[in-house]
A and B are shown apart, each in its own frame.
Chain A
Amino acid sequence: MPHSLPSSPKSTPKNGGNGITKFTNCRILKDNSLVEEDLWVNSITGKIIRSQAAFYDDFVLPNQVINLGGRILSPGFIECQLNGAFGFNFSTLLEPAVYAKKVREVNRQLVRTGVTSYLPTITSQRSDIYKRALPHLGPSGYRQVAEDGAESVGAHVEGPFLSPTKNGVHNVDVLREADTFEDLEDCYGPTNISSEDSYEPSPIKMVTAAPELGRMTELIPEVTARGIIFSVGHSEATYEEASKAVAAGATMITHLFNAMRPLHHRNPGIFGVLGMAESLPRPYFGIIADGEHLHPTTIKIAFNAHPDGFILVTDAMHMVGLPDGAYQWTNGDCTNHIVKKGPKLILEGSDRIAGSSITLIECVTNFLRWSGATIPQALRAVTSTPAAMLGMQGVKGCLDDGADADLVVLSEGLGQDEAELVIDEVWKFGTKVFSR
Chain B
Amino acid sequence: MRLIIRDESEAASSYVANYIIDRIQHFNPTPTHPFVLGLPTGSSPLGVYKVLVEKYKAGLISFENVVTFNMDEYVGIPRDHSESYHSFMWKNFFSHVNVNPNNVHILNGNAPNLEAECVEYEAKIKRAGGIDLFLGGIGEDGHIAFNEPGSSLASRTRVKTLAYDTILANSRFFENDIEKVPKMALTVGVQTVLESREVVVIILGARKASALQRCIEQGVNHMWTLSSLQLHPHPMIVCDEDATLELQVKTVKYFKSIELVARQQGFEQILPSSIRTGPPIPKTVVDEVSDEVQSPTILAPQPMTSRLLRATPATEYPVRSVSPDLVPDRMADRVGVPDLARRLTPQPEQQQQRLASVGA
Contacts and interface: CB of A to CB of B under 8 A. Distances in A.
A115 to B, nearest CB: 30
B86 A56 contact: yes
Contacts of A25: 57
B33 to A, nearest CB: 21
A38 B97 CA distance: 12
A61 B80 CA distance: 18
> How many interface residues does chain A have, given as a range?
10 to 19
A52 B95 contact: yes
A61 B96 CA distance: 11
> How many interface residues does chain B have, given as a range?
10 to 19
Contacts of A52: 80, 86-87, 90, 95
B98 A55 contact: no
B79 interface: yes
A53 B98 contact: no
Contacts, number: 31
Interface in B37-82: 57, 79-80
A53 B101 CA distance: 11
A25 B87 CA distance: 20
B90 A55 contact: yes
Nearest to A50: B80
Contact of A56 (B96, B98, B100, B101): B101
Contact of B95 (A38, A58, A59, A60): A38
B24 to A, nearest CB: 19
B102 A59 contact: yes
Contact of A61 (B57, B79, B87, B98): B98
Interface in A30-73: 38, 50-53, 55-56, 58-61
Contact of B101 (A24, A38, A50, A61): A61
Among B57, B90, B95, B102, which residue has the most Cβ atoms of chain A within 10 A? B95
A24 B86 CA distance: 20
B255 interface: no
Given A60-B101, A61-B100, A61-B101, A55 B94 contact: yes
16 contacts: A25-B57, A38-B95, A50-B80, A51-B95, A52-B87, A52-B95, A53-B80, A55-B94, A55-B95, A56-B79, A56-B86, A56-B106, A59-B102, A60-B101, A61-B98, A61-B101
Given A52-B90, A55-B95, A56-B90, 13 more contacts: A50-B80, A52-B87, A55-B90, A55-B101, A56-B79, A56-B86, A56-B101, A56-B106, A58-B101, A59-B101, A59-B102, A61-B98, A61-B101
Which 8 pairs from chain A and chain B are nearest by CB?
A: A59-B101, A52-B90, A55-B101, A59-B102, A52-B80, A38-B95, A56-B86, A53-B80
